[in-house]
Amino acid sequence: MPLKVPKNLFEAAIGNGTVRRFRDFALVVLDGEGALCVPNDVWLPAASWALSRAPSGNRLRDRFQLLSRLDILVTRRGTAVISTTGAHLRLARLRDVMKREGLDVQEWNFPPKSVLDQALNPEAPPRAEDETAAAPEVTGETLPESDAETHSESEPDHDAIAETDPVDDGADAGASDAER
């Protein structure tokens, strides 16, 4: 059986994997190494670039060159070749488009839902359940004087410690015990 030699960097990088193009994104399945979704406005220029380049002969190097041209992508769970990258707003739009096309977004490594929802609606206040999960509310109150004095007394005074602790600078290291 003859060995299939890739004609360009794109064929070398994808290998036996597949690329399914949807209306707004491409689903790239790398044979045995996972999958990723990329918006078409990012995928098409990178794929065109890879189609016009000669392969290096090293599949991992070719795959890395292609993937490094993708600045927005989301990976499926278990993909070890690359991780999810991109701005939250672009990832939120990609998530919504994937939902519209019928893909299960639970299988993909998106940032938390609250982060992506906040990216889509920055003016909207956070939901009540998000506030309870967040850090406790910080008020503008100051410490009472008695607490402030106690707090400052509990910290060690480094100047006083430096004055009481003798520093052995090693100047008399060569002196005998009788001379000391």
Listing from the earlier edge strand, what are the strands of the sheet with 34-39?
18-21, 25-30, 34-39, 74-75
Percent of the chain predicted with pLDDT > 90:
61
Q: Please tell me the predicted confidence (pLDDT) of residue 124.
A: 74
Q: Please tell me the predicted confidence (pLDDT) of residue 180.
A: 47
pTM of the model: 0.66
Q: What is the pLDDT of residues 42-55, one digit of tens each?
A: 999 999 999 999 99
User: From the centroid of its chain, how far is CA 15?
Assistant: 26
Q: What is the pLDDT of residues 66-122, one digit of tens each?
A: 999 999 999 999 998 999 999 999 999 999 999 999 999 999 999 999 999 999 998
Q: Please tell me the predicted confidence (pLDDT) of residue 6.
A: 87
pLDDT, the chain, mean: 81
Return the H-helix or E-strand segment holding 158: helix 158-164
pLDDT band at residue 123 under the 50/70/90 scheme: confident
How long, in residues, is the chain? 180
Q: Please tell me the predicted confidence (pLDDT) of residue 3.
A: 73
161 has pLDDT over 80:
no
What is the distance between the alpha carbons of residues 48 and 27, in angstroms, rounded to a whole number? 16
The string of DSSP codes covering 29-73 is: EETTTEEEEEEHHHHHHHHHHHHTS---S-HHHHHHHHHHT-SSB
Per-domain residue ranges of the chain: 9-125
Across 133-144, average pLDDT: 53
134 has pLDDT over 80:
no
Q: Please tell me the predicted confidence (pLDDT) of residue 112.
A: 95
Q: Please tell me the predicted confidence (pLDDT) of residue 76.
A: 96
